[in-house]
Structure 1
Amino acid sequence: MISAQRQKYNQQFTAEKYQNFMQKLEAGYPEIPFRVAETPIFVPKELKEKLIAAGEEIISLIKQPNFKELTQKSIPSDWNVPDENEQPHFLTFDFGICKNEAGELTPMLIEMQGFPSLYGFQIHLANTYRECFEIDNSTNHFLNGFDEEKYIKLFKEVIIGNHQPHEVALMDVDAPSQKTAIDFFVTQKMLGIKILALEDIKKVGKQLFYEENGRQIQLKRIYNRLIFDEIADNTEIFKNSFDPREELEIEWVTHPNWFYRISKYTMPFLKSEFVPETRFLNEVKTIPADLENYVLKPLFSFAGMGVIIDVTETDIKNIPDPENWILQRKVTYEPAVQSPDGGVKAEIRIMYLWPDGGEPQLCINLARLSRGKMIGVRYNANFDWVGGTVGFMEE
């Protein structure tokens, strides 16, 4: 993308440097179970500005007064959590890097979430790339005028709020065993909060507690990393802890309902040069003649599960719940990142923090490289120069 930066990076790259990079990245943390790419992405200013513009268009929809009304049906009735607040605390928008008709690189929206991502790990990752490879300061992994000090201050405000760090916990089903656990540990180091598995938390009345050194400590705020889709068939796990769907005296960061509101469900409401044509399947009156140019996605799935890439009319007719699916025009990724042996496809996630009573602020990014049919671990198992990375944006 930034050809001078790419050329310089590739010339200095060696397998030994990459091994040293991975050792430093994992030092003091458990082994990372997902693949980290050999390279960051060097993003030119023009593409960065398009990413920012695309994000602003999406946020203007989210801030519409009728947004909750538009997205009310997105929340499954079985998983509607009470005491929803007025805003998500996180916004993440995933863009495939493509070419437009003018032959310019341009972002196209693939996914969006009102749910946290690797807000801690991406800082550690970018710093480690800089430490292990020669990357000059003409690029930055932060956006919008942020630096590390300013970012951590805002991150603390969003996660901890008006509480003490010991009153706040990052929570998942079995947090230390999750694939993204390194983000949990980096976040803990950064903010001083607890990491708790669901069963570490007990309910007394409407209040939640965890035990430390024989003392019961009340939780005031939960940094929620639990995705309900992943435990929908196993609600027995709540019996040893608490059910998030009950009335509780707890603040959610972010409230679980936002996971559904800002998701694939939101995409049909967006009309933009940066958003592929997307329709709810039950609103498709005529099946497109060029069905090979479309992809079929379930609304309620995670990490690409259930996506039908090579769609047929039979696939569409066999969907029993078309209201829970979208038909989306395929996005053609441009292999824009030059590896030592050819082009690699890229996806960039721009990441916002939205403090209580404040405005959403674009802070950092996450990127993924792919040679497979789709972006994602299982589609890239036997390749190198693929996996999670970060974008260094031209200042």
Structure 2
Amino acid sequence: MIPKYRKQFNQEFSGEKYKQLKDILKQKSGIEPGFRTSESPIFLTKEFEGKLLDTSESIITQIKALPSETLQKAIPENCRVPNDTNQPHFFTIDFGICKSEKGEIEPQLIELQAFPSLYAFQKTFEDTFCEVYPFLADIRNTMPQSTFQEHLKELIVGNENPEHVILLEIFPERQKTAIDFALTEKLLGIKTVCLTKVKKEGKKLYYENNGQLTEIKRIYNRVIFDELDRIPDLVTEFDFRQEVDVKWITHPNWFFKISKFLLPLLQHQFVPKSYFLHEFPETENLEDFVLKPLFSFAGSGVNLNPTKEITDAIEDKENYILQRKVTYEPIFEDINGEFSKAEIRLLYIWKENDERPILLENLGRMTKAAMVNVDFNKKDAIWIGSSNAFFAES
């Protein structure tokens, strides 16, 4: 899409520039990404951007209209955390880039989350693309770095001293997203702390900061519940389900409330029809749907070709959905004349006193494989991996 920019990028691209891109990212963060970064940004039209934003606004309006008790049903009882909040601090929404029956390029909702994505990394990634390819500055995100930083600082640090604010993760040094943690530390002046290092005294939480036991007052939470369940013999002083004197950014309950659980409840031209597995009607064809567990992360547990034998064998059918298949359109041409597919994630923040969230950045993912997830990419392909979208008039 947008032949002018695609042609210029492909003409300017070289292996040396790709190495330069990666070297600058490592220089800015101090570490290399634990995931593959695409050689290329995604170029999309302003018209397509309008479809993305209109769909997102409709979805946000529908979610705001849902009764609180409906959202509460999404939280498994063994995962419920005290002191829930009225709205999440983060809202991210994924769209596949598809082609309609009329041949028009359109977005199709894939999933949505109230979980922080790679906010700091994606802003740095966009900046770095513009450094290596200066012509991209003409179509970059118009939000200045200072405004972006202020938005995140107000949301995560608030009025607190940064030493009392932590980014919480489980074994952060092992996470593929560790580069985002490093960039967040630089951006906000906070520390990344492993859940196993958190100390608890009464309702107070502490961590060791430069040899001093320091109280934790705000937690920028990056821990995912189902990941904790997969770690054998995990020992921690602090259990999320205990009542503690901290401010969650964002509250862990929202991981469940804004999730695939909502997909059967949403209606829009660009929202594929979804059903809870236990409510799947006999009038539909199973082969037209993808099977997804409600609370998995990064594509785990997704079955692109479910059979009746597979669905019948699932006991907790209320924890799965069937989502109508969409076809990603390979439209992003590489230097060899081959084409990649992609999806785009819009990264919103939602301040506590705001009626609606604010769009800060986007995250692109490119692939030539069946699933659009960096873990499913072919190892020898190009124009695959994490990317960033630029929008321009066609």
Residues 28-64 of structure 1, C-alpha deviations (whole Å, 9 max, x = no match) = 5222120000000112100000110111011112212
TM-score, L = length of structure 1: 0.95
Verify: 1:284 aligned to 2:285, yes or no.
no
Partner of 1:259: 255
Partner of 1:388: 386
* Correspondence 1:230-249 to 2 at 5 A: 230-234=227-231, 236-237=233-234, 239-249=235-245
Partner of 1:356: 352
The one-letter amino acid of 1:388's match is S
* Correspondence 1:1-395 to 2 at 5 A: 1-27=1-27, 28-64=29-65, 66=67, 68-141=68-141, 146-234=143-231, 236-237=233-234, 239-286=235-282, 288-289=284-285, 291-340=286-335, 341-358=337-354, 359-382=356-379, 383-394=381-392
The one-letter amino acid of 2:320's match is W
The one-letter amino acid of 2:289's match is Y
| CA deviation after TM superposition for structure 1 residue 233, in Å | 4.3
3-state SS of paired residue (1:16): helix
Alignment partners' CA distance in 2, 1:213 and 1:226 = 23
The one-letter amino acid of 1:113's match is Q
Residues 207-256 of structure 1, C-alpha deviations (whole Å, 9 max, x = no match) = 0111223322111000000001101244853x433111101000000000
**Where do 4+ consecutive residues of structure 1 move more than 6 Å?**
none
The one-letter amino acid of 1:298's match is P
| CA deviation after TM superposition for structure 1 residue 71, in Å | 2.1
RMSD: 1.5
3-state SS of paired residue (1:240): coil
| CA deviation after TM superposition for structure 1 residue 312, in Å | 1.6
Cα pair 2:129 2:136 within 8 Å, conserved: no
Count of residues in correspondence between the two structures: 389
| CA deviation after TM superposition for structure 1 residue 65, in Å | 5.3
| CA deviation after TM superposition for structure 1 residue 162, in Å | 2.1
TM-score, L = length of structure 2: 0.95
Alignment partners' CA distance in 1, 2:12 and 2:46 = 24
Cα pair 1:91 1:116 within 8 Å, conserved: yes
Aligned-pair identity (%) = 44
The one-letter amino acid of 1:139's match is I
| CA deviation after TM superposition for structure 1 residue 102, in Å | 2.6
Mind listing any 5+ residue stretches in structure 2 that lack a counterpart?
none
Residues 88-140 of structure 1, C-alpha deviations (whole Å, 9 max, x = no match) = 00000000001123322111010110000001000110111111124343312
3-state SS of paired residue (1:112): strand
Alignment partners' CA distance in 1, 2:159 and 2:350 = 15
| CA deviation after TM superposition for structure 1 residue 343, in Å | 1.5
| CA deviation after TM superposition for structure 1 residue 73, in Å | 1.9
| CA deviation after TM superposition for structure 1 residue 287, in Å | 5.8
Cα pair 2:264 2:274 within 8 Å, conserved: yes
3-state SS of paired residue (1:188): helix
